[in-house]
Structure formats: structure tokens, C-alpha cells
Amino acid sequence: MIGLKQSDDISERLLIKGRVRVTIMATEKLKARKVVRKSCLKQLTTDAEKYRMKALELGAADAKVIPASHVVVDERVRLKCSVPRCHLYGECVNCPPYTPPPGQMRRILKKYKYAVLFKTHVSPKTDFVDDEKWHVGHMMHQRRIHEIAGAIEALAFNDGYYLAAGFAAGGCKTALCSGQVCQFLDSGRCRFPLKARPSMEGVGIDVFDLVTKVGWDVYPIAVREVDPESVGCAISVGIVFIH
Ligand code: SF4
């Protein structure tokens, strides 16, 4: 684990040297808690609230602890990665067709009971809506989602929830590698092995369904066609399955 962390840091330094913008998170030492065979509900509730607060501290506009059963995986979500084809489809190892297929994800997610769902507000809205700005605009917002998901997953892991798993928004090729060729597909070595993760939608999670279920506003944004005035807000969403 320590080796991988160091490799993340080295990759970040290299990218900065190459004048690619990358946000660096302060490395904080986490306290490891002894793993117990069966988690007690009281402890789990306290921990889930701690992770929710951490998401807010790291810049989330809102975060909720939800039952994992709220999450719906739908084959049609994954279909939307290829029809119409996303520019990241097949371009990054954390995007389809390389991500776990919906059937497998459904079986996996059934084993979790709790998750922390969080969102960031995209401001200015033009970072997502404006035809000229959205490509660069996406990077910063989706990078933040990767960072929050990674930080909460690491916290939970060190608290003994060793199966905690986080999912972000968008593709890590955009969010972390600033559009460079995916180094994993190129040479088998991801630049950000601990930070890079699939998006929720990339594994078939119906994000729109989930977000409306918890009462958050969300709008479809088809950059070229939509009237920006009709988009009430733009958000970016991530999730960490805890236990
Ligand atoms: S090298 Fe970049 S694009 Fe490829 S998996 Fe890692 S972070 Fe994602």
C-alpha cells in the first residue's frame, strides 16, 4: 500500500513538471483501527456520519448516508456510454468496456448495506453547460469527486471496513490525466493507481435515479443542444460503499 501511495505522488510530480494541471491533496496519516469480525451498528452509524462530514469538509455541497439498496444498476446506463459513443469509451481502463458489467456490479452491490453519497455544485454552471468550456471545465469538478471518493474510501478502509469501494464521476482520463493517453492501456501502469476509479455511470449505476431519490435537483445537460438558461443547476456526484 505504501509503495502505491508513493507511486501516486511521483506521478503527480511528473505531471506537474510536464505542465499538466493536477491538484495535490495533502498526505495525512490515517489511524488504523483493528478489524473486527462483525461491525456493531452503533459504530457503523458513527463512522458513516464521520465520512459524511469528511465529504463536506473536502468540498461536497451535500452528502448523505444511504442504504446501498437505494442504488439501481441498469444495463441501459452502460449502453449510454457507447450509444451515442462517449469520447472516453475504450480510451481509459476505468471506462467501459473495461469496467465490471452491470450483472456483476448488481451482485457486488447486493453485498453492501451502507454507502455515502455526495455531490458538488458546479459553479460556474458554464463549466458543464458551455460548448466551449465544458471539456476543460469537467476536469476540475470531476477531479474533486475522485479526490473525495478516494479520501473517504481510505478513511473507511483504515477504520476496518476493508471492502469499502468508491466510484467517481466522469472518466479519470479527463479528471486526473488531463486528456493524456491512458498510461495503463499504453504500458500497464496507471499514473494514479489509488486515485483513479470508475465513474458511477461507467459501472451502470443509475445516477439520475439515485439523485432524485435523495431529493437533489439534477438536469440533463446536452451541451450542444440545451438552452443554458433552462439548466437550474449542474452537479457532480460520487459514492463510497462502506460495508
Ligand atoms: S493512467 Fe490515467 S486515464 Fe489511465 S487509468 Fe490511470 S488515471 Fe485513468
Q: Identify the band that residue 231 occupies on the pLDDT scale cut at 50, 70 and 90.
A: confident
| Cell digits of residue 227 | 438552452
Share of the chain above pLDDT 70, in %: 85
With b for 16 or more beta-carbon neighbours within 10 A and e for fewer, the 102-141 pattern comes to beebbeebeebebbbbbbbebeebbbbbeeeebeebbbeb
- Gap from CA of 121 to ligand 1 centroid (Å): 24
Instruction: Locate the domains of the chain by residue range.
Output: 47-241
Q: Give the pLDDT score at 90.
A: 97
Q: Identify the band that residue 230 occupies on the pLDDT scale cut at 50, 70 and 90.
A: confident
Grid-cell match 491538484, residue found: 23
Could you say which DSSP state residue 238 is in? E
Query: Closest residue (by CA) to atom 3 of ligand 1?
Result: 173
Residue 138 Cβ < 6 Å to ligand 1? no
- Gap from CA of 173 to ligand 1 centroid (Å): 5
Q: Give the pLDDT score at 226.
A: 76
Residue 78 Cβ < 6 Å to ligand 1? no
Residue 174 Cβ < 6 Å to ligand 1? no
pTM of the model: 0.88
CB neighbours of 211 closer than 8 A, spacing ≥ 6? Answer: 119, 218, 235, 237
Q: What is the pLDDT of residues 171-221, one digit of tens each?
A: 999 999 999 999 999 999 999 998 999 999 999 999 999 999 999 999 988
Q: Identify the band that residue 228 occupies on the pLDDT scale cut at 50, 70 and 90.
A: confident
- Gap from CA of 57 to ligand 1 centroid (Å): 26
CA distance 188 to 226: 39
154, 148 contact by CB (below 8 A): no
pLDDT of 233 over the 70 cut: yes
Q: What is the mean pLDDT of the chain?
A: 87
Q: What is the pLDDT of residues 66-92, one digit of tens each?
A: 999 999 999 999 999 999 999 999 999
Grid-cell match 463512522, residue found: 47
Q: Give the pLDDT score at 37.
A: 85
pLDDT of 2 over the 60 cut: no
pLDDT of 11 over the 50 cut: no
Query: Closest residue (by CA) to atom 6 of ligand 1?
Result: 190
Q: Identify the band that residue 124 occupies on the pLDDT scale cut at 50, 70 and 90.
A: confident
